[in-house]
């Protein structure tokens, strides 16, 4: 959590220079940890995509030496087998949506034993920052097998704007797409990889309350494709569309 604090302070002064259905009656400083995590992980602005690998569920202890090993078997020999299904959970969040930033801020304040004026001021700047020109999406991940989380980290770290720009986009229900503008790989801030899109398209915001849904798609690598849909009508916070 300390790394997340330092990361948010850094973001407030650097990263966000690219752009200058919680209970509405309950102020965010009163959210419980469970409520904050629900906003981050299971809400109109934060959803999970799970990728499962079952190739190691069926271990062959006496493989035929005359048969060339499959890729999965070679991987077992090199790294050890789990003999169970493994999965990676990718958390896809609209960081430019105020509720997501509020949830991050709430977790940070809950982690502080005493109130730090400097941190509180920076968190306020982080929470209140305007996203008039940009849409920011973050993706982080967790796995029950460290090898798979390592592969995910390698994929995100190897990705660039050049490798992503033609296959990373936001898509409305009517088929209109906006493609990636900027990409930042995971860093020590704890927020994950960051995908930046232009908010204004054809002189109007990309989304409105009648947009239906918005779909985030990104082919990070040959084996990792993110594809998640969000209902725009549900992305209302304190009477405002947040995304």
Query: Can you tell me the distance from the alpha carbon of 190 to that of 43, in angstroms, rounded to the nearest whole number?
Result: 19
Domain assignment of residue 64, yes or no: no
**Nearest one of 50, 75, 40, 60 to 191, comparing CA atoms:** 40
66 domain residue, yes or no: no
Residue 185 lies in a domain: yes
Q: Residue 154's closest CA among 236, 220, 212, 63? A: 220
Which pLDDT score is estimated for 135? 98
> What is the predicted pLDDT for the residue at 147?
76
Instruction: Check residue 12 and give its pLDDT.
Output: 46
Dist CA 28 CA 180 (whole Å): 31
Reported as a single tens digit per residue, the pLDDT across 178-217 is 999 999 999 988 899 999 999 999 999 999 999 999 999 9
- Do β-strands 86-94 and 240-241 pair in parallel, antiparallel, or remain unpaired? unpaired
Q: How many domains does the chain have?
A: 1
Burial code of 104-142, b = ≥16 C-beta within 10 A, e = fewer? bbbbbbeeeeeeeeebeebbeebbeeebeebbbbbbbbe
Q: Pick from 130, 110, 94: which is nearest to 12 by CA? A: 130
Asked whether residue 223 is domain-assigned, the answer is yes
Domain that holds residue 170: 2-58+71-241
Rounded (5°) CA angle 72-142-167: 75
> Does residue 63 lie in a domain region?
no
pLDDT for 74 equals 47
Is 30 a member of any domain?
yes
Q: How far apart are CA 169 and CA 166, in angstroms?
A: 8
Q: Is 33 within a domain?
A: yes
Task: Tell me if 119 is assigned to some domain.
Answer: yes
Q: Using CA atoms, how far apart are residues 126 and 67, in angstroms rounded to an integer?
A: 58
Burial degree of 39 (CB within 10 A; 0-12, 13-18, 19+): buried
The pLDDT, as a whole number, for residue 229 is: 97
pLDDT for the residue 81? 54
Taking 70 as the pLDDT cut, the residues of the chain under it are 1-25, 53-85, 113-120
Confidence (pLDDT) at 15 = 45
């Amino acid at each position: 959590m300390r790394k997340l604090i330092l990361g948010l302070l850094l973001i407030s002064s650097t990263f966000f220079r690219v752009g200058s259905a919680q209970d509405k009656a309950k102020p965010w400083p009163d959210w419980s940890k469970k409520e904050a995590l629900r906003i981050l992980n299971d809400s109109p602005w934060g959803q999970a995509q799970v990728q499962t690998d079952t190739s190691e569920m069926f271990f062959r202890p006496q493989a035929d030496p005359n048969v060339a090993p499959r890729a999965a078997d070679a991987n077992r020999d090199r790294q050890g087998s789990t003999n169970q299904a493994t999965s990676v959970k990718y958390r896809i969040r609209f960081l430019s949506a105020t509720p997501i930033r509020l949830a991050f801020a709430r977790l940070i304040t809950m982690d502080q034993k005493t109130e730090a004026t400097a941190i509180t001021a920076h968190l306020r700047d982080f929470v209140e920052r305007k996203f008039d020109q940009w849409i920011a999406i973050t993706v982080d991940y967790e796995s029950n097998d460290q090898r798979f989380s390592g592969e995910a980290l390698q994929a995100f770290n190897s990705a660039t704007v050049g490798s992503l720009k033609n296959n990373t986009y936001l898509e409305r229900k009517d088929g209109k797409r906006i493609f990636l503008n900027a990409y930042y790989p995971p860093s020590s801030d704890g927020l994950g990889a960051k995908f930046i899109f232009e908010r204004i398209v054809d002189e109007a915001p990309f989304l409105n309350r009648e947009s239906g849904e918005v779909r985030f798609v990104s082919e990070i690598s040959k084996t990792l494709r993110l594809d998640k849909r969000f209902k725009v009508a549900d992305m209302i916070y304190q009477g405002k569309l947040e995304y």
